[in-house]
């Protein structure tokens, strides 16, 4: 039993329409600052220093630009540099451009 060409075309069209409908992601719009914002964290463990630096970045970005600009996960141009100090502690510097999520 074989399908006729018009029913095959209908099946292909329906499949393509569903594929496009389910693969289309909602548009996300971000407005980002032009210059990066920096913060430092110093702790005994590198992972703790990194977390402290990010937390300090969030706090200082919030203080300078407002809550809506202080979301690390949507910031762009993220960089991190950690060095071990003579004291044995770790110092991490993070830098990122704060971004604001704009609802389209």
Q: What is the pLDDT of residues 36-54, one digit of tens each?
A: 999 999 999 999 999 999 9
Cut 0.95: pTM above it: no
Q: Residue 79 in contact with residue 95, Cβ under 8 Å?
A: yes
Domains contained in the chain, CATH given? 29-102 (3.10.28)
- 22 CB neighbour count, 10 Å cutoff: 7
User: What span, in angstroms and rounded, lies between the C-alpha atoms of 101 and 104?
Assistant: 9
Confidence (pLDDT) at 69: 96
Whether the Cβ atoms of residue 74 and residue 31 lie closer than 8 Å to each other: no
Q: What is the pLDDT of residue 23?
A: 41
* Assigned token pair, 76: 């762009």
Question: What average pLDDT values come out for the chain (104 residues) when binned by 10 residues?
Answer: 57 47 57 97 98 98 96 97 98 98 82
């Amino acid at each position: 039993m074989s399908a006729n060409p018009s029913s095959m075309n209908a099946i292909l069209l329906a499949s393509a329409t569903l594929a496009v409908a389910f693969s289309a992601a909602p548009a996300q719009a971000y407005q980002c600052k032009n210059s990066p914002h920096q913060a430092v964290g110093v702790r005994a463990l590198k992972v703790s220093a990194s977390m402290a630096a990010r937390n300090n970045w969030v706090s200082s970005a919030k203080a300078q630009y407002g809550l809506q600009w202080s979301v690390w996960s949507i910031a762009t141009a993220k960089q991190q540099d950690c060095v071990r100090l003579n004291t044995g502690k770790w110092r991490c510097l993070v830098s990122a451009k704060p971004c604001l999520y704009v609802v389209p």
